[in-house]
Amino acid sequence: MGHHEAPKAARTLRHRALLRAGLTVTAAGAALAGAGSAAQAAPVADAPVVGHNAMANDLAAGAQGAAGAVGYAVAPAKSLRLDPLANTGVDPLDNGVGAKVADFRPVSTTMATSPVASGGALKDLPVTGQAAGLLPG
């Protein structure tokens, strides 16, 4: 008698047996995988010393992480171009006023506006560039 001719009860029993075997193999594999990952787990941190505040450790670690993150956040801002219209024909900051009185040297505002008008960043400005050097990043 062929497989297609087997009574339904026999096919159902075989199907259940295969299903149980598959579930057993799956459960055993999951148990072995769980045991393997538990064996490779990271070591547990030392318990705080008696009289030492564990929250102080957490706050110190948080402050250190925040200080490191500030450097990465501020660094692009220091090198960001301040005038997006710099070196274009429509730049409103590309102007200056000058004056010359008698034999004195001429005085002009282009000295102050040229770093911005030429497409400079915060770190390229005369006075604020030095202050920006104090920022992390």
**Is 58 domain-assigned?**
no
Across the chain, mean pLDDT equals 74
Give a three-class secondary structure readout of 61-130.
HHHHHHHHHHHHHHHHHHCCECCCCCCCCCCCCCCCCEECCCCCCCEECHHHHHHHHCCCEHHHCCCHHH
pLDDT per position as a tens digit, 114-135: 777 887 787 777 777 777 777 7
**Is 100 domain-assigned?**
yes
Q: Which residue has the tokens 């072995």?
A: 32
Q: How many folded domains does the chain comprise?
A: 1
pLDDT per position as a tens digit, 64-85: 777 777 777 777 777 778 778 8
Domain housing 135: 67-87+94-137
**Is 11 domain-assigned?**
no
**Is 135 domain-assigned?**
yes
**Is 51 domain-assigned?**
no
**Is 125 domain-assigned?**
yes
- Cα separation, 77 vs 122, in Å, equals 8
pLDDT per position as a tens digit, 2-18: 666 656 677 777 778 87
**Is 38 domain-assigned?**
no
Extract the tokens encoding 129: 């560039």
**Is 111 domain-assigned?**
yes
Give the pLDDT of residue 23: 75
